[in-house]
Structures are given as structure tokens and as C-alpha cells.
Amino acid sequence: MQGESLMTFQHENANERHASQAGTLNLGDLTINRLGFGAMRLSTNGISGQPRDPEVGRAVLRRAVELGVNHIDTAAFYQSRDGSVRANTLIREALSPYPPDLVIATKVGPVFGAGGPAQGTAADLRALVEDNLKTLGLERLDLVYLRIGMMEPPHGESLAERFEVLASLREEGLIRHLGLSNVDTTHLAEARAIAPVVAVQNHFHIARRDDVAVLDVCAENGIAFVPFFPLGGGRSDLNDPRLARVAARHGASVSQIALAWLLALSPVTLAIPGTASLVHLEENIAAGSITLTPEDLADLGITGGELR
Ligand SMILES: NC(=O)c1ccc[n+]([C@@H]2O[C@H](COP(=O)([O-])OP(=O)(O)OC[C@H]3O[C@@H](n4cnc5c(N)ncnc54)[C@H](OP(=O)(O)O)[C@@H]3O)[C@@H](O)[C@H]2O)c1
């Protein structure tokens, strides 16, 4: 155990760092706090790399739930390069038997072979869903995103065949709700003609807000919009004087303001900051109690444009 990494963030008022402070949102019939947790960073600080301490990862997960997190975002492919630490295994070990209100969202699509990540086909999906069921120790997955493309949404590519497979696994009872990740508005419309979509998870944060069209469709249809890399994937993008100015006004960190901004953007946004640090976890949860003023929002620009 890394003693220092397990030190907790000291805060004057415990209520100010409870995930429920961010309000709630419905994913189909499931109600969750809008401030959740992204599990990708538990196994390694990226998609694939050196393993992180599994004991710290389990401690972070338990603390997240203590702090009111009832939405954890994961994937079976969130693992260290050597495969020794897997996010799903840590979640099962730390939290199973699961609290009844805990919603675990996962994603399928990519396959990882010797040549690195590639897009899986429709034929791969059942096995990928079953891998999540097994590693999480569940009989049904609350929310499964179909994750397509590589870094950018694959414009013009049909997802129908793959989404139909997930829709049939939902009919079979292996999945409760479906989502999409890394998609454009055409993909979203194509999928919604096949089965209900409760959430979209796309690359979006305060310094990368060019996906407003998808957010708008989500807001109009009560679909959750779940930005991935809500902290810019590691903060280099958050190095901005406007953010620093608003953070100073609130006595907060720029990470906290970036999360508060996402939550203020629309009632359908969910925040899933990722960390393997108890200090960062507590700091991120405390962001749910920050109310940005009209002056803050004007400074930050609530929609559109680059942060500059
Ligand atoms: N659908 C997709 O394609 C996709 C892609 C990427 C991610 N995701 C999901 O989105 C979640 C969030 O994205 P992410 O974890 O990649 O990126 P992120 O939340 O934007 O940033 C995480 C990074 O910021 C650091 N960090 C976290 N809190 C901090 C704080 N308060 N102060 C300073 N640094 C802080 C983390 O390091 P420490 O661990 O050291 O704190 C980590 O390096 C993931 O966990 C995953 O569930 C989905």
C-alpha cells in the first residue's frame, strides 16, 4: 500500500463533498447522482501502461461510494499493459456485493490484439458483453455503450449491425440500458431507430466543446451526455487563465471548476472524472457543491467557441 496516496483530502464540511450535491439524473429507470466516477485511471494512468497499486484502486472505489457516487463508468479493456490490474476486477473486489443503487456503466466495441486496439465487429460483441458480466460479477449490465471508431467519431460509418446485436442482448436480459460512445448525430439517430439510447459518451470538456450538436440532441430527448476526459484527460488543456481566475474566486482548483462548468452546461450532463488518488477523488466530488455565478459562466463561456 502506498501510504501517502491513501491520505484523504481534509474538508471543513462533509456535506460539501457528497456526490448528491451535484443533483440527480435518470438513465432510463435508474436515478443517479450527476457526479460519478470514471474507472479507467485505476489500473493505469491512461488506457494501457504501467500497473497502478490495486490496493489504492480498491480504496478509491470504496471511498467514492462512501461519498455518494452511485454511477461508475468502466470497461473490460481498462487494464494495465501486462493485464495484471483490471478496473472491472477492482470494482468487483472492492464493492461486490454491490449497493442496490449503484449503477455500473461499461462499454464494448474495441478489441485489443497484438497490433493494438482495433474496432470489433458485430460478431465480437456477445463475448465482450460476457467478459464484462464475468469480470464485474453481474448477471445483467446496467448500461452498455457501443464504443465506435478510434480517436474521432467515424463519420459516415454505419453502426446498425453492431447496435442490433446489443439490442438483442438487451432483449435477452443481459443488458438493462444502451448507450453510444464516440458518435455523431447521424449515428445517434441510426441507433435510436433500433432501440432506446439513454446516454452518449463523447470527448468533451471545457477546452474542447465542438460537440454541441450531439449535446443538443441529448438535451432535447432526455438522453444523458457523459463527457469523457472531463478534466481534459490529465489537465494540460485546463491550463488557462480564465479557469484560474474563476477558480481563485471560489477558492477552488481548476479541475473543480472544469467539473462545475460541465454540470452547469445542461441538466443532462454527467461528470465521470477519473483518478486513482484519494485526494483528487475528494476534490472532484467537492466540485458538485460549487455553484458558478453568471459572472463565472460569462467568463468561461457557457457554450460554443474555444477556451482562450
Ligand atoms: N468512451 C471513451 O472512449 C472514453 C475514453 C476515455 C475515458 N473514458 C471514461 O471517462 C473517464 C474520465 O476520463 P479520464 O479518466 O480518462 O480523464 P479525466 O477525468 O479527464 O482526467 C483524469 C486525469 O486527471 C488526473 N486527475 C483527476 N482528478 C484530478 C484532480 N482533482 N487534480 C489533478 N489531476 C486530476 C488523473 O490523475 P490521477 O489518477 O493521478 O488523479 C488522470 O491523469 C474515464 O475514467 C473513463 O471511465 C471513456
Those residues whose C-beta lies under 8 Å from the C-beta of residue 264, and which sit 6 or more positions away, are 292, 297, 302
Q: Which of 48, 77, 147, 231 to mutate to test the pocket of ligand 1 (most atoms within 8 A of CB)?
A: 231
Q: Which of 280, 281, 282, 284 to mutate to test the pocket of ligand 1 (most atoms within 8 A of CB)?
A: 280
For atom 38 of ligand 1, which residue has the closest CA?
Answer: 275
Tell me whether strands 103-108 and 71-73 are parallel, antiparallel or unpaired: parallel
Task: Determine the length of the chain.
Answer: 308
Q: What is the pLDDT of residues 65-107, one digit of tens each?
A: 999 999 999 999 999 999 999 999 999 999 999 999 999 999 9
Catalytic residue status for 78: yes
> Per DSSP, what are the bridge partners of residue 31?
26
Measured from the CA of 229, which atom of ligand 1 is nearest?
20
**Alpha-carbon gap, residue 52 to 37, rounded angstroms:** 17
Measured from the CA of 46, which atom of ligand 1 is nearest?
16
Distance (Å) from CA 177 to ligand 1 centroid: 24
Measured from the CA of 145, which atom of ligand 1 is nearest?
1
277: which 3 cell numbers?
Answer: 488518488
Helix 185-192 and helix 160-172: axis angle, to 10°? Answer: 40
Q: What is the pLDDT of residues 211-233, one digit of tens each?
A: 899 999 999 999 999 999 999 99
Instruction: From 119, 122, 187, select the one nearest 161 (Cα to Cα).
Output: 122
3-state secondary structure of 223: coil
> Per DSSP, what are the bridge partners of residue 215?
none
Q: Which of 48, 143, 146, 275 to mutate to test the pocket of ligand 1 (most atoms within 8 A of CB)?
A: 275
**For residue 296, which phi and psi values (nearest 5 degrees)?**
-60, -50
Kindly list the distances between the CA atom of residue 240 and the CA atoms of 81, 166, 222, 296, 308, in Å, as whole numbers in the listed order.
32, 41, 32, 14, 7
**Alpha-carbon gap, residue 272 to 136, rounded angstroms:** 19
Measured from the CA of 284, which atom of ligand 1 is nearest?
31
Exactly one of 77, 78, 163, 229 is catalytic; which is it? 78
Kindly list the distances between the CA atom of residue 307 and the CA atoms of 49, 208, 255, in Å, as whole numbers in the listed order.
30, 8, 15
117: which 3 cell numbers?
Answer: 486496439
> Per DSSP, what are the bridge partners of residue 105?
73, 143
The cell 499493459 sits on which residue? 81
3-state secondary structure of 61: helix
**Alpha-carbon gap, residue 197 to 186, rounded angstroms:** 13
Pocket of ligand 1 (CB under 6 A): 38-41, 45, 73, 107, 147, 181-182, 201, 228-235, 255, 272-277, 280, 283-284
Query: One digit per residue, pLDDT tens: the chain, 308 residues?
Result: 333 344 444 444 544 689 999 999 999 999 999 999 999 999 998 777 899 999 999 999 999 999 999 999 999 999 999 999 999 999 999 999 999 999 999 999 999 887 888 999 999 999 999 999 999 999 999 999 999 999 899 999 999 999 999 999 999 999 999 999 999 999 999 999 999 999 999 999 998 888 899 999 999 999 999 999 999 997 567 888 889 999 999 999 999 999 999 999 999 999 999 999 999 999 999 999 999 999 999 999 854 443 33
For atom 9 of ligand 1, which residue has the closest CA?
Answer: 228
Kindly list the distances between the CA atom of residue 182 and the CA atoms of 20, 120, 246, 305, in Å, as whole numbers in the listed order.
27, 14, 30, 20
